[in-house]
Chain A
Amino acid sequence: MSENFDHMEMLLRRLKPQMPNPELRERIGADLKLDEAWLPRQVRRAPRWLVATGWAGLGAAAAVVALAFLTGGAVERGDAGGPGVAQSVEVGRVQGQGVVQPVRVWSVERRAWIDPTDGAEIMVEIPKADGGQVVLPVNFQ
């Protein structure tokens, strides 16, 4: 500001605003506690290892599906399901004849966690592969 006001500004700045009532801090704290949606976004994020596992699982599942297509096997996908534990089964026919055939079964287990406080959802897919002999339906032969 103009040099004429320098002394005046200095004088006025000596004064410090009055501290508010300590109750005010408590009231604001209570208000902020009522709705914690203001909490930083990273709270909703899953731990780093869980995210990495999820992506790895997703990649593995994609690889399994691609492999099944490439080997010419029949693929059947079950119901994806909602939150909780769901299973989708992919069946690839390896070889065999007749009703009973040796097959390899790839499955993907989905697990979902929902944080009830903010609705954050974490889903992990765990691929599995099992071999064995099963009776296939007619359309698979």
Chain B
Amino acid sequence: MNDFLELLSFAFFRKALLASLFASISCGIIGTYIVSRRIVFISGGITHASFGGIGLAFLLGFNPLLGAAIFSVFSAVGIQFFAEKGGVREDSSIAIWWSLGMALGVIFVFLTPGYTPNLMSYLFGSILTVSNGEILAMFLLNVLLALVFGYWFRNILYIAFDEEFARASGLPVKSFNYLVAILIALTVVLNIRVVGIILILSLLTIPQATANLFTKDFRTMMFLSSMFALLGTLSGLVISYFLNIPSGATIIFVLVIVFGLIRVYKSLK
């Protein structure tokens, strides 16, 4: 217990707690949308494409998250555009952007002179090293999500459930789809520091799968998955600290264990 209190006295740990909270809320909301709409694969594409931006930022020496943001928003829009206008099958379009982003990232990092020490923290997350600026950005993202989902909740829900019906009702479906795609991209990018590019899909899907065991209502699912995400990130964080193992991977391990235990408990009942 004393160890834990001592841990709380460290600024880096308090920042990590805040990052966990903001990551849980944003991933809870966006993840519920992604899972409900069955666009997990698209989200994987957007996430991995952002690696190209990180590579470019290393090469040219600007903020990697800015590079990731540009690449992921670009690929989010690009995937939709390719599928709509280019006559490319959607899953193929996703794979093209996914691998293009990764490939560019590898080339850019290779061209960057010297050693790139932070690369691993973007790939696998490094919640203990988040900066004040990153925390602020995550907070602003949470505010933005609250505003958009608060005001347009029903429009977003109805479009997600039955896009054709929404279009027949005269709703600007395409604009809403682009808006949410951009929010997905921003959520992915700003949470990269928590669990990393490779592992972020887990925060967008595992808490939702757990929440789905309790509810089949979209709104409740957003709330519950945020709670499960928070449970997983906080306990993963503490465990990783005391066992001295990587935080991102530990968080995901905890999320899966929680899901598994509840799933088994539910089926025994």
Partners in one complex: no
